[in-house]
Amino acid sequence: MLKEIYEQPEVLQTCLSHYLSEDHPLSSSSAYSFIPSNLSQIHILGSGTSRHAGLVAQYWLEQVAGIPTRVRSASEFLSAPLPLVANTLTIAITQSGETSDTLAAARQQKNYSRLADTSTCQLIGITNQSESSLARTVDHILPILAGNEIGVAATKTFTTQLAVLACLTVHLAHCFKTISQERSHQLITELQYLPAKIASVLEQQQDIIQEIAQKLALAKHCIVLGQGVNRAIALEGALKLKETTYIHAEGYAAGEFLHGPVALLEPNIPVIAIVMPDQSYEQVINTVRKVKFHNVPVIGITATTIPSAALQILDHQITLPTTDELLSPFLTIVPLQLLAYYTAVQRGLDVDRPRNITKTLVVPES
Ligand code: BG6
């Protein structure tokens, strides 16, 4: 797992280079020829970490490209399919391309599309395995090019899934003119800086994260807060902690946390808060103040531009380089992956073979 966390700058670079060629940064439109020309909505299907990548993308696709987007857990899809209308693009996300729930959901969507004669609908897959069962099911594959991932807890496949989804969002926003040419170039340029920024997080924040992990290892419960584009990162960070450390970790949107879950707070339940300099900053810092009022330790994942007065209420800080506020998930997830890894090691656990879970959940057909 640690090796794969450290491979992220390199694989992200490979993936971005595939989707953004240097002399024509918006990539050739043939790369996206599968997109219905009158695209009406996007459905995203996935499980676990792949679903969380879909939730980050939902924020991007709706807020940047203005496309109504729904994400459904693949395991719920058979009993609660999403209504299909003409010109729907469905994206099945699965790093392995073999997760039974995701395959079943993708196949069901394909059948619906046939029955409803919605020939304008398209089904595509985002996967690390171009020769997988998913690849044989969908109309088109967008590869994430992460190289083999062996660690049960997905890390580098998550950041490369995000890269594909970010490129797709910029392309759609550009096509539908929801952002200016200048803004799309800005986002593309910032995407290209991310591998180096992740490398600097891995190099500079390792010591503080190991120090925090020693304390976190003693906890039985933990809460992870994020908001806006980082809400899904709070969910993914909590999933990484559950998978590797067996600490009961839950991710919440910082604002929603105050509407009930706040009752959980106790001084021995640490809170990890993603405090980024973006639109959600006031809401997150307001929640952090309320959390501190209950004498709860707060670990902040912050950026260099956060005012120092606000940082004083945090018990620990993991400081990230600045990036475009839309793209911060590429950076905020990295300390959460490392924290999960080092906390599990501190608890004497086998990080690469966590109990009860498998890398790919395949249920044999009956
Ligand atoms: C689960 C794994 O069974 O499958 C998770 O335990 C993983 O770690 C999920 O995120 C989805 O896997 P995939 O291959 O469909 O992305």
Between these two residues, 331 and 357, which has the higher pLDDT value?
A: 331
* Residue of 1, 44, 50, 103 to test ligand 1 pocket, by largest number of atoms within 8 Å of CB: 50
CA angle, residues 327, 332, 335, in degrees to nearest 5: 150
What is the pLDDT, as a whole number, of residue 22?
Answer: 59
Q: Please identify which residue in the block is written with the tokens 């307001």.
A: 286
Checking if the pLDDT of 118 tops 70, the result is: no
**Per the structure block, which two tokens stand in for 5?**
């966390």
Which ligand 1 atom sits nearest the alpha carbon of residue 153? 8
Mean pLDDT of 34-48: 93
What is the pLDDT, as a whole number, of residue 294?
Answer: 94
Q: Please identify which residue in the block is written with the tokens 């619906």.
A: 112
pLDDT (tens digit per residue) in 286-296? 999 999 999 99
Q: Whose CA is nearest to atom 13 of ligand 1?
A: 94
Q: How far is the CA of 80 from the centre of ligand 1 (A)?
A: 20
Which ligand 1 atom sits nearest the alpha carbon of residue 96? 14
Model confidence band, residue 114 (pLDDT cutoffs 50, 70, 90): confident
Around ligand 1, the residues with Cβ closer than 6 Å are: 47-50, 94-96, 99, 102, 154, 357, 360-361
Q: Which CATH architecture has domain 205-346?
A: 3-Layer(aba) Sandwich (3.40)
What is the pLDDT, as a whole number, of residue 69?
Answer: 98
Least confident of 21-25, 247-251, 306-310, 341-345: 21-25
Query: Could you give the percent of the chain with pLDDT greater than 70?
Result: 95
**Per the structure block, which two tokens stand in for 32?**
């996206």
CB atoms within 10 A of CB 357: 14
Q: Where are the domains of the chain?
A: 2-198, 205-346
Q: How far is the CA of 50 from the centre of ligand 1 (A)?
A: 7
Which ligand 1 atom sits nearest the alpha carbon of residue 47? 11
What is the pLDDT, as a whole number, of residue 364?
Answer: 76
Which ligand 1 atom sits nearest the alpha carbon of residue 157? 16
Q: Whose CA is nearest to atom 5 of ligand 1?
A: 48
Question: Per-residue b/e over 212-231, b at no fewer than 16 CB within 10 Å?
Answer: bbeebbebeebbbbbbbbbb
* Residue of 72, 93, 95, 337 to test ligand 1 pocket, by largest number of atoms within 8 Å of CB: 95
What is the pLDDT, as a whole number, of residue 24?
Answer: 46
Checking if the pLDDT of 281 tops 90, the result is: yes
Q: Whose CA is nearest to atom 9 of ligand 1?
A: 48
CB atoms within 10 A of CB 293: 10
Mean pLDDT of 121-143: 95
- According to DSSP H, which parts of 180-230 are helical? 181-204, 206-216
**Per the structure block, which two tokens stand in for 155?**
């890390």
Q: How far is the CA of 128 from the centre of ligand 1 (A)?
A: 12
Instruction: Please name every residue paired with 79 in a beta bridge, in sequence order, or none if there are none.
Output: none
Model confidence band, residue 34 (pLDDT cutoffs 50, 70, 90): confident
State which H helix or E strand residue 90 sits in: strand 88-93
- CA dist., res. 58 & res. 35, Å (int): 16
CATH topology of domain 2-198: Rossmann fold (3.40.50)
Which ligand 1 atom sits nearest the alpha carbon of residue 101? 15
What is the pLDDT, as a whole number, of residue 8?
Answer: 98
Checking if the pLDDT of 188 tops 80, the result is: yes
State which H helix or E strand residue 234 sits in: helix 231-245
What is the pLDDT, as a whole number, of residue 25?
Answer: 46
- Given this chain, do its domains 2-198 and 205-346 carry the same CATH topology? yes
Mean pLDDT of 90-108: 96
CB atoms within 10 A of CB 163: 28
CA distances to 2, 34, 135, 342, 346 from 228, in Å: 28, 29, 32, 27, 32
Between these two residues, 112 and 92, which has the higher pLDDT value?
A: 92
Checking if the pLDDT of 366 tops 80, the result is: no
What is the pLDDT, as a whole number, of residue 234?
Answer: 98
Between these two residues, 318 and 116, which has the higher pLDDT value?
A: 318
What is the pLDDT, as a whole number, of residue 111?
Answer: 87
Instruction: Please name every residue paired with 88 in a beta bridge, in sequence order, or none if there are none.
Output: 41
Q: How far is the CA of 49 from the centre of ligand 1 (A)?
A: 6
Q: How far is the CA of 241 from the centre of ligand 1 (A)?
A: 15
Mean pLDDT of 226-245: 98
Sheet holding 298-303, edge to edge: 248-253, 221-226, 271-275, 298-303, 316-320
pTM for this one? 0.96
* Residue 223 Ramachandran class (φ > 0 left, ψ -120 to 50 alpha, else beta): beta
Least confident of 1-15, 56-70, 167-181: 167-181
What is the pLDDT, as a whole number, of residue 37?
Answer: 82
From the list 336, 224, 205, 337, the residue with the least C-alpha distance to 270 is: 224
Average pLDDT across the chain, whole number: 94
pLDDT (tens digit per residue) in 203-216? 999 999 999 999 99
Q: How far is the CA of 293 from the centre of ligand 1 (A)?
A: 37
DSSP 11-22: HHHHHHHHHS-S
From the list 239, 238, 234, the residue with the least C-alpha distance to 280 is: 234
Which amino acid appears at position 291 of this protein?
V
Q: How far is the CA of 96 from the centre of ligand 1 (A)?
A: 8
CA angle, residues 62, 141, 33, in degrees to nearest 5: 70
What is the pLDDT, as a whole number, of residue 29?
Answer: 59
- Residue 27 contacts residue 171 (beta carbons within 8 Å): yes
Checking if the pLDDT of 23 tops 60, the result is: no
